[in-house]
Amino acid sequence: MNFYLLDHEATFNDLKKFNFPNQKIGVIAHIENSDGEILLQQRGEKSRDENGLFEDIGGKLDPEDVSFKSAIIREIKEEAGEEINLKISDSIGICHLFKNNTNWIFIIYFAKYIDGNIKVMEPTKCKSYRFFNYNEAIKSDIVTNSCKFLIKTINKYHLNK
């Protein structure tokens, strides 16, 4: 896994440097509440992989997405509902992850949870949501390794401030 810091909102031009075989583009929202706890979703039985484990909200870029930011807003609504109130930053980085014979290029966003009801919108893909403190998430056997990498990276570069 590699992480590339961004100092601007990601554009499609930023992806030109990535040219991997079997490459897919996605977006991830790293969401924290005012106590610094991280909102993670538990993957459901019809998830692509890592069923039962927790990770950040995110997903694949759709052809109708006009920007990465619009994609992450869509993903959050699809997965956690419209009643969640977040303050979403511009993109903070790009993460390359090789997983299940796919080279994933994820545009990463930081979001601050303000308030609102977090709903399980796709119960076969997501079982539940839970806030984890930093140490609990990093030490947990139920948080994916790729999510732990992202949590550590965001903490290391103070991207959650």
Burial 83-116 (b: 16+ CB within 10 A, else e): ebebeebebbbbbebeeeeebbbbbbbbbebeee
Q: Work out the percent of the chain whose per-residue pLDDT is above 70.
A: 100
Q: Which residue has the higher pLDDT, 50 or 142?
A: 142
Length of the chain: 161
DSSP character for 47?
S
Q: What is the pLDDT of residue 91?
A: 97
Q: Which two tokens stand for residue 60?
A: 């694949």
pTM of the predicted model over 0.85: yes
Residue 48: what pLDDT?
78
The mean pLDDT of the chain is 96
Give the pLDDT score at 161: 74
Q: Which two tokens stand for residue 47?
A: 């998830």
pLDDT tens for residues 104-129?
A: 999 999 999 999 999 999 999 999 99
**Looking at the DSSP assignment, which residues form a beta bridge with residue 87?**
112
The C-alpha atoms of residue 98 and residue 22 are separated, in whole angstroms, by: 10
Residue type present at position 110: F
Other CB atoms within 10 A of residue 137 CB: 20
pLDDT in tens, 73-115: 999 999 999 999 999 999 999 999 998 899 999 999 999 999 9
Kindly state the average pLDDT of the residues 9-18: 94
Residue 17: the pLDDT is 93
CA distance 89 to 158: 14
pLDDT for residue 47 is more than 90: no
Question: Tell me, what's the pLDDT at 74?
Answer: 97
Note the pLDDT of residue 33. Answer: 97
Under the banding of pLDDT at 50, 70 and 90, the label for residue 3 is very high
Average confidence (pLDDT) over 62-78: 96
Strands (E), the chain: 2-5, 23-32, 38-43, 54-55, 57-60, 84-99, 102-116, 126-132
One CATH from 3.40.50.300, 1.10.760.10, 2.40.70.10, 3.90.79.10 for 2-10+20-156 = 3.90.79.10
